[in-house]
Amino acid sequence: MTTSDNMHVNTSALHTAAPPSVVSGNNSGKTSTKLSCGLVSGIAQAGVFNPWDRALYLSQKYDRKFLDFRNFENPMAGVTQTLFQRAISAGLYFPLEEIFKDAIRERMSSKESRHSPWVTVAAGNLAGAVNGLIMNPVSAIKYHYWGVECGKENFYTTAINMFRKGGLNPFMVGVTATISRDLVFGGIFAFLRHDLLASHKRNNGNVVSADNKKLQPIGTSFLIDVVSATLATVLSSPLNYVRNTHYATPPGVQPLPAYKILLKLWDDAANESTMQGKLRNLQSKLRLGWGSARVGCGMAFGAQVYSTLKSIIEG
């Protein structure tokens, strides 16, 4: 039972608690609702932002500016091939964050500890880590497929060939870096979005739980989510660089440890003669810019769709 539920319990209810089977059924129903809303949110995000994703890919592939009009020709091309992967990746975070937060709070004794910022951080950490663990095999297949010029016709044949040649090992490439990146991103994103929202409510004389976003103007919560996700992306970008380096390592070659990759990243930037050169070097290698903005806007859009759907279903 959550804290908000406890606020409405009277003394007579203490003697008429629902049977465990009923409570379990309610929790199961709420979990399925959250996961369903997350999936729909992920599908919506994947479709709406496909032109942005495609433009990012083409700008890197052909080494041209992001806003080059050629990057936006056939904006919906490839959406069906990647819809499922992007829907799962984008749609899992929000329900997982709520599920873990509820689970942590149920195991805490005091009201103050249940609403501690560390509960939010831990829930975000766990949501990010689980999301990364689930999606890493899919990302490993995708990067392997992109790195082969011929012989593998699609995503599924690539996965089959990877399994035949290496069993489960090829699917675990980069898993540590992926979980580390998503753990850091999830914790920072969860903390910032809920803390900034709570601060905004306090400053406007509306002291309400930060979870209750439906009382907040859409523009305000959207902007807060954009800022939070963008900052989380920037701060977790070194781990994303490690992840991409591991994915780019040829099969059969042992990937470098994360600390060596990060030291080389730092040394390369330090070798630039000017501060502007150092920053440009880091910005280029960490892919900061339009990619970071894409994550910020995408997560904010997904959060709005998720919370709106859940409010409609739960009444």
pLDDT tens digits along 108-146:
877 767 778 899 999 999 999 999 999 888 888 877 766
Q: What is the pTM of this model?
A: 0.79
In the block, residue with structure tokens 């280029």:
284
Please state the rounded mean pLDDT for residues 56-80.
85
Question: Of 176 and 81, which is predicted with more confidence?
Answer: 176
Please state the rounded mean pLDDT for residues 93-99.
95
pLDDT at 191: 94
> Percentage of the chain surpassing pLDDT 90?
46
For residue 79, give the 3-state DSSP assignment: helix
Surface-to-core class of residue 115, CB atoms within 10 Å of its CB (0-12 exposed, 13-18 middle, 19+ buried): middle
pLDDT at 302: 95
The continuous run of DSSP H or E covering 36 comes out as helix 20-48
Separation between Cα atoms, residue 132 and residue 92, nearest integer Å: 10
For residue 100, give the 3-state DSSP assignment: helix
Tell me the pLDDT band of 214, cut-offs 50, 70 and 90.
very low
Cα–Cα distances in angstroms (integers) from residue 294 to residues 2, 181, 232, 233, in the given order: 34, 17, 12, 10
Residue 183: phi and psi, rounded to 5, are -65, -45
Residue ranges and CATH numbers for the domains of the chain are: 26-314 (1.50.40)
